[in-house]
C-alpha cells in the first residue's frame, strides 16, 4: 500500500467512530441499521464494496435506526457496516469556490479540477439572532427597472419570485445576477433537470461566473442531496457574509426543495397533509429562509427564492408558507409573457415590504403615481381595447392614457441590458415630467 493511501486511510479512520453497526433492511429511499447509539441528524458512513456512502440518521426506534442516504441505496447489502462520521454535515469552503460549480457537498462538478478550501463549516446553522439582525436600510440594486423602480429591495431582504412553469423565472434570475452589484453571488439550483444547468449558465448568465458560485442538486440526485443542496448553498453565502461581504443568494426552486422533504418525510412515515406535504416541510422553510438577512458588524445575504405556482392557486401550502416568511414577493404572470411583455412581472400583484424605508420621498411619490395610473389602466383595459371609452369623459383616465406607452416601456426590459439604480430612478421620474 502506498504511503498516500495509508495516510488517507488513517485520516478517514479519524473521521469515523471506532464502533460500528450493521444494515438490517434496505428500501428504495431508506436503510435500517442497528448496533450503534445514534441521535437524529447524525451523519453516518456506510462501507460499500467500491466506496462509502453517507447518510443521515432520521428516525430512531428501540432496536434500530433509519438512515436516509445521500445517494442511491443500490449496491448495499444487509450486514454492511455503518460508522458514525465525527465530522458531521460539513463542507469545505474558501475563495477557491468563486467561479465554480459544485454539488451539495461542495465537490466540484465542472471538470475544472480540485477546489482550494480554507476552512470547514457546518451545513446546518441557526438563523441570525434577532438582536444581531441589522436593519434593512440600504438599497440592494438588481439592475431590473421594474424591480429597482417599483419593488425596490434592500440589503438583507428575502424576496420570493412566484411563477408558473415556463413563465420566465430563470431569465429573471439571470438578469438579477448580472445586474446586481453584490460582491459575491451564490446560486442554488435545486431539483432542475440536469440538462437545464449548463443551459442556464450559458443562456441566462452568459457564461460569466465571476464572483459567482453555483450549487447544483438535480432532479435525479437523492432527495437528501436536494434538501441539503439548499442548506449548503446558504452556508457558503454565510461564509462570505461573515467576512463582511454583501452576498446575493438565489435559489431555484423552493418548491422542488419542499418536494425533496416531502419524499423524505413520507418515507419516514410522516402523515401527508395539504397537497401531500408532511408537517416537517412547513417547519423546514423558515430554517432555510431565515438564515438570510443582514447581521450587525458583518455583511448581508439578500435572497431571492423562486416558488412555483400554477394559476392563482392560493391553496398551495408552500407558496402560502413562503409568503409569510418572506419580506416581499415578485409575481410573474403568464398572461404578460404570452403578450411578449418581458420581464413578465405583475406589478400590481407584487410588493416589497421594506421599500418605503429605503427610498427617498420623490421615488416614493413616483411609485404611488405609477401604481395608481397603471391600476386605472388595468381596470379599464377592456373598455379601452374595444374602443368604447370616449376621451374627455374622465380626466384621470385621460391622463393615464397619455402615460400608457411610457409606463409599459418602463416595465419592459431586454434580458441582456442591465441598468444602474440611478438611471432607473431618473427613468421613473421622467415618466411624469
Distance CA 331, CA 333 (A): 6
Choose the one of ligand ATP, Mg ion, none that binds residue 163, judging by a C-beta under 5 to 8 angstroms depending on kind. ligand ATP
Q: How far is the CB of 259 from ligand ATP (least distance, A)?
A: 14
Looking at the Cβ atoms of 180 and 204, the one nearer to Mg ion is 204
Nearest-approach distance from CB 95 to Mg ion, in angstroms: 29
Does residue number 218 form part of the binding site for ligand ATP (CB under 6 A)? no
267 binds Mg ion (CB under 5 A): no
C-alpha atoms less than 13 angstroms from C-alpha of 51 in its C-beta half-sphere: 5
For 291, counting Cβ atoms within 10 Å of its Cβ (0-12 exposed, 13-18 middle, 19+ buried), the class is buried
List of E strands, 256-310? 293-294, 300-308
155 to 184: interface string for ligand ATP, x by CB under 6 A: --------x-xxxxxxx-------------
Give the angle 201-206-211 at the CA atoms, nearest 5°.
Answer: 75
Q: How far is the CB of 343 from ligand ATP (least distance, A)?
A: 5
Residue 130, C-beta contacts closer than 8 angstroms, at least 6 positions apart: none
Q: Which is nearer to Mg ion, 310 or 408 (CB)?
A: 310
Distance CA 263, CA 36 (A): 25
Q: What gap in Å lies between CA 342 and CA 329, rounded to an integer? A: 17
Q: From the CA atom positions of the chain, what is the Rg in Å?
A: 25
Cα–Cα distance for residue pair 343/147, rounded to 1 Å: 10
Q: How far is CA 272 from its chain centroid?
A: 24
Q: Are 303 and 250 in contact (CB under 8 A)?
A: yes
When the beta carbons of 169 and 294 are compared against Mg ion, the nearer one is: 169
The contact mask relative to ligand ATP for 109-148 (x = CB under 6 A, - = no) is ----------------------------------------
The answer to whether 87 touches 105, Cβ cutoff 8 Å, is no
CB 417, min distance to ligand ATP, A: 10
From the list 5-13, 166-174, 218-226, 281-289, the region that binds Mg ion by CB under 5 A is 166-174
Instruction: Give me the least distance between CB of 200 and ligand ATP, in Å please.
Output: 8
179 binds, among Mg ion, ligand ATP, none (CB under 5 to 8 A by kind): none
Other CB atoms within a 10 A radius of the CB of residue 400 amount to: 21
- Neighbour count for residue 350 (Cβ, 10 Å): 21
As measured in angstroms, the least distance from the Cβ of 207 to ligand ATP is 16
Show Cβ contacts of residue 355 under 8 Å, excluding neighbours closer than 6 positions. 151, 152, 153, 154, 328, 367
Among 236, 343, 370, 400, binds ligand ATP (CB under 6 A): 343
Please tell me the count of residues contacting Mg ion according to CB under 5 A.
2
Select the residue interacting with Mg ion from 17, 170, 180, 300 (CB under 5 A).
170
CB of 172 to ligand ATP, least distance (A): 7
Q: How far is the CB of 170 from Mg ion (least distance, A)?
A: 3
Alpha-carbon gap, residue 183 to 209, rounded angstroms: 12
Residue closest to Mg ion when measured from CB atoms: 170
Q: Does 415 bind ligand ATP (CB under 6 A)?
A: yes
Q: Which residues form the interface with Mg ion (CB under 5 A)?
A: 169-170
Q: Which residues form the interface with ligand ATP (CB under 6 A)?
A: 163, 165-171, 342-343, 415
Amino acid at each position: 500500500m502506498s504511503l498516500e493511501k495509508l495516510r488517507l486511510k488513517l485520516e478517514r479512520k479519524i473521521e469515523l467512530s471506532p464502533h460500528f453497526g450493521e444494515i438490517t433492511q434496505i428500501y428504495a429511499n431508506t436503510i435500517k441499521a442497528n448496533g450503534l447509539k445514534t441521535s437524529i441528524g447524525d451523519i453516518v458512513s456506510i462501507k460499500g464494496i467500491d466506496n462509502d456512502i453517507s447518510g443521515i440518521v432520521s428516525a430512531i426506534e428501540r432496536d434500530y435506526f433509519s438512515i436516509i442516504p445521500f445517494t442511491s441505496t443500490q449496491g448495499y447489502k444487509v450486514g454492511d457496516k455503518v460508522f458514525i462520521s465525527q465530522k458531521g454535515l460539513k463542507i469545505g469552503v474558501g475563495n477557491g469556490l468563486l467561479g465554480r460549480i459544485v454539488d451539495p457537498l461542495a465537490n466540484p462538478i465542472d471538470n475544472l479540477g480540485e477546489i482550494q478550501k480554507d476552512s470547514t463549516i457546518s451545513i446546518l446553522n441557526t438563523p441570525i439572532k434577532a438582536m444581531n439582525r441589522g436593519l434593512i436600510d440600504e438599497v440592494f440594486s438588481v439592475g431590473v427597472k421594474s424591480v429597482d423602480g417599483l419593488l425596490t429591495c434592500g440589503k438583507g431582504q428575502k424576496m420570493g419570485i412566484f411563477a408558473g412553469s415556463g413563465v420566465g423565472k430563470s431569465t429573471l434570475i439571470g438578469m438579477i445576477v448580472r445586474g446586481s452589484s453584490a460582491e459575491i453571488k451564490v446560486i442554488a439550483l435545486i431539483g432542475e433537470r440536469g440538462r437545464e444547468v449548463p443551459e442556464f449558465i450559458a443562456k441566462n448568465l452568459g457564461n460569466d461566473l465571476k464572483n459567482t458560485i453555483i450549487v447544483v442538486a438535480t432532479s435525479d440526485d437523492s432527495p437528501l442531496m436536494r434538501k441539503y443542496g439548499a442548506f449548503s448553498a446558504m452556508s457558503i453565502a454565510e461564509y462570505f457574509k461573515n467576512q463582511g461581504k454583501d452576498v446575493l443568494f438565489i435559489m431555484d426552486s423552493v418548491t422542488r426543495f419542499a418536494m425533496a422533504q416531502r419524499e423524505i418525510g413520507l418515507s419516514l412515515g410522516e402523515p401527508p397533509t395539504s397537497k401531500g406535504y408532511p408537517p416537517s416541510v412547513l417547519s423546514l422553510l423558515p430554517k432555510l429562509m431565515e438564515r438570510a438577512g443582514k447581521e450587525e458588524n458583518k455583511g448581508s445575504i439578500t435572497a431571492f427564492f423562486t416558488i412555483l405556482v400554477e394559476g392563482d392557486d392560493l391553496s398551495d401550502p408552500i407558496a402560502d408558507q413562503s409568503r409569510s416568511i418572506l419580506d416581499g414577493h415578485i409575481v410573474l404572470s403568464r398572461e404578460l409573457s404570452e403578450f411578449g411583455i418581458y420581464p413578465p412581472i405583475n406589478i400590481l400583484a407584487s410588493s416589497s415590504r421594506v421599500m418605503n424605508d429605503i427610498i427617498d420621498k420623490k421615488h416614493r411619490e413616483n411609485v404611488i403615481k405609477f401604481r395608481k395610473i397603471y391600476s386605472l389602466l388595468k381596470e379599464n383595459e377592456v373598455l379601452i381595447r374595444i374602443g368604447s371609452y370616449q376621451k374627455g369623459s374622465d380626466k384621470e383616465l385621460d391622463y393615464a392614457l397619455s402615460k400608457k406607452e411610457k409606463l409599459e416601456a418602463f416595465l419592459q426590459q431586454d434580458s441582456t441590458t442591465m441598468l444602474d439604480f440611478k438611471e432607473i430612478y431618473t427613468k421613473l421620474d421622467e415618466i411624469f415630467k
